[in-house]
Amino acid sequence: MLPMLISIFFVSFVSLFFLRKVAQKIDLVDIPNTRKQHHGTIPLVGGIAITVTLVCILTINPDLLQHVDLYLFCIIVLALLGALDDKYDLSVSLRMGIQAALSVLVLYKGNLSLESFGNLLGSGNIELGSWGVIVTIIAVIGAINAFNMVDGIDGLLGGLAIVTFSSLGILLTIQQQTMLAQFCWIIITTLLPYIAMNLGYCGKKRKVFMGDAGSMVIGFTVVWLLMALSQTNTSTVISNVSMKPVTALWIIAIPLMDMTAIMIRRMLQGRSPLKPDRGHLHHILQRIGFSTYQTLVIIVSLGAFFALIGIFGEYANIADEWMFIGFMICFIGYYYVLNYLENMTTPHLETEASHSHNNTSITEN
């Protein structure tokens, strides 16, 4: 296993070095503006490199994942979609339409869908029945965009992705699902070179961003594995594995909570829930005075804490309803704290916006 992981690390690193030069030639770069306040143009190739690495590994080792051809097709389409969006700023309707189409493909070709929420209310399993198709499409689109929304500062998307895949790797290892556990460790290894370059450990001149390709592929992979683990109708995808659906909420708590809280707040303010702004937790923590690195550590640590609660609840066999109540309490707390901090920093944000023609110190990808 170790030699394979070393090889994967090398392939991912080489892909990043090669693709960043290609990106600079074709202008696939992130340009600073009032919402993206980094320095210089940064190649948007992290996600493409990760996709290239996964395609190579799964082509050589197709037994790591059942329905591997379907999975590879989906991540290639998403990577291309993300790259085109980074380059040409595609419409939201087009992006979501393609994501929905892939959701339907996964549902019918991969037999991968949401059919039950588990015993969330303590009165028996909540079966979705005919609603399962719609809920599955919403879940896939939601997961893809939740991970897209948290990609706001250096290292954050990569850090939260490692928390999620590590949690899944632990669960799968305990379940003795060796191949899928290996798949999770492979994804983590693939992410490490990107994180190193994204955080500037290889030099500021070699810095790269994930791009929409990366957030889409990561979000899709997460929801693929979560549905496979938590739904009983997926025996053709993963055999003899089960995870309570409520555990999935804890494993992706930060991306899920942040996306939901932000969208609720925007709608209550009469704005589009999909229109980007600087109201995410990572933006607010920076406005309060935390550095980019401190913000990264705080949020990733919080995500790891929530994931550990989910893992503990799964194997301590805590009742679904109590785990769900606990999650909702945490979400309500997250929502109100986020709103409080947003309101507290609004005057500062307005002042900052009024001077947006000057260079600012807030960093955002």
- Per-residue model confidence as pLDDT tens digits over 192-215: 999 999 998 988 888 999 999 999
pLDDT: which is higher, 267 or 363: 267
Q: Which of 192, 164, 187, 224 is nearest to 53 (CA)?
A: 187
pLDDT: which is higher, 234 or 247: 247
Q: Which of 121-125, 159-163, 165-169, 335-339 has the lowest mean pLDDT?
A: 121-125
pLDDT of residue 357 exceeding 70, the answer is: no
pLDDT of residue 40 exceeding 80, the answer is: no
Q: What pLDDT was estimated at residue 323?
A: 96
Cα 24 from Cα 8, distance rounded (Å): 24
Q: What pLDDT was estimated at residue 47?
A: 95
Q: What pLDDT was estimated at residue 118?
A: 85
Based on its alpha-carbon atoms, the radius of gyration of the chain, rounded to whole angstroms, reads: 20
Whether 313 maps to a domain, the answer reads: yes
Share the mean pLDDT of the chain.
87
Instruction: Tell me, letter by letter, the H, E, C secondary structure of 156-214.
Output: HHHHHHHHHHHHHHHHHHHCCCHHHHHHHHHHHHHHHHHHHHHCCCCCHHHCCECHHHH
- Report the share of the chain in percent with pLDDT over 70: 89
Q: What is the mean pLDDT of residues 314-325?
A: 94
Whether 364 maps to a domain, the answer reads: no
Q: What pLDDT was estimated at residue 147?
A: 95
Whether 295 maps to a domain, the answer reads: yes
Write the DSSP assignment of 21-63 as a string of letters: HHHHHHT-EE---SS---SS-EEB-HHHHHHHHHHHHHHH-GG
Whether 360 maps to a domain, the answer reads: no
pLDDT of residue 230 exceeding 90, the answer is: no
Q: What is the mean pLDDT of residues 47-55?
A: 96
Q: What pLDDT was estimated at residue 232?
A: 61
Q: What pLDDT was estimated at residue 273?
A: 87
Please give the tally of structural domains in the chain: 1
Whether 208 maps to a domain, the answer reads: yes
Give residue 342's domain range. Answer: 2-115+125-354
Whether 361 maps to a domain, the answer reads: no
Q: What is the mean pLDDT of residues 284-310?
A: 95
Q: What is the mean pLDDT of residues 153-181?
A: 92
Write the DSSP assignment of 316-336 as a string of letters: TT--HHHHHHHHHHHHHHHHH
Could you tell me the pLDDT band of residue 242, with boundaries at 50, 70 and 90?
low
Q: What pLDDT was estimated at residue 279?
A: 85
CB 214 within 8 A of CB 42: no
Q: What pLDDT was estimated at residue 353?
A: 41
- Give the CA diameter of the chain: 59
Sign (positive/negative) of CA torsion 251, 252, 253, 254?
positive
Q: Which of 47-51, 142-146, 167-171, 349-353 has the lowest mean pLDDT?
A: 349-353
Q: What is the mean pLDDT of residues 7-20?
A: 94
Whether 120 maps to a domain, the answer reads: no
CA 250 to chain centre: 14
- Report the share of the chain in percent with pLDDT over 90: 66
Whether 145 maps to a domain, the answer reads: yes
98-135 per-position pLDDT tens digit: 999 999 999 889 888 888 888 888 888 888 888 889 99
Q: What pLDDT was estimated at residue 178?
A: 86
3-class SS at 352? helix
